[in-house]
């Protein structure tokens, strides 16, 4: 059976961006992660060791966003997707990570800008 674990609205301070001010001052990023898992064993055993710990994944994402600044959301979101898939093995089948930047340096009114990246196990 396949189930989906979601982490929504994880707010993390980081120093990513193309502009020097973004790198110096930093800003908040919002991360949403979806992890599709093979949940047969977890459902049958009710044992956390047979599934993905969303608490551990949230910590991994937070640490990653807080370190190793990059210029582009494309780079950050793909890095997160790849690392979450690796960390969620062997249970994860597919991962989608969206990184939003609500305070992007755009001189217009907007809610956020975001990039979504995916990673999946080879078939």
- Asked if residue 77 lies in contact with residue 49, where contact means CB atoms within 8 angstroms, the answer is no
101 assigned to active site: yes
Active-site residue, selected from the candidate residues 94, 96, 101, 121: 101
Cis peptide before 54 (omega within 30 of 0): no
Q: Which residues are catalytic?
A: 101
């Amino acid at each position: 059976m396949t189930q989906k674990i979601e982490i929504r609205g994880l707010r993390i301070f980081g120093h990513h961006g193309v502009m020097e001010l973004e790198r110096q001052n930093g800003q908040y990023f919002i991360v949403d992660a979806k992890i599709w898992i093979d949940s047969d064993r977890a459902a049958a055993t009710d044992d956390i060791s047979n599934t993905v710990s969303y608490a551990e994944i949230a910590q991994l994402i937070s640490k990653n966003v807080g370190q190793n600044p990059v210029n582009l959301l494309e780079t950050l979101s793909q890095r997160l997707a790849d690392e979450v898939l690796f960390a969620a093995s062997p249970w994860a089948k597919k991962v989608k990570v969206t990184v939003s930047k609500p305070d992007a340096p755009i001189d217009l009114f907007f809610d956020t800008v975001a990039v979504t990246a995916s990673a999946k196990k080879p078939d």
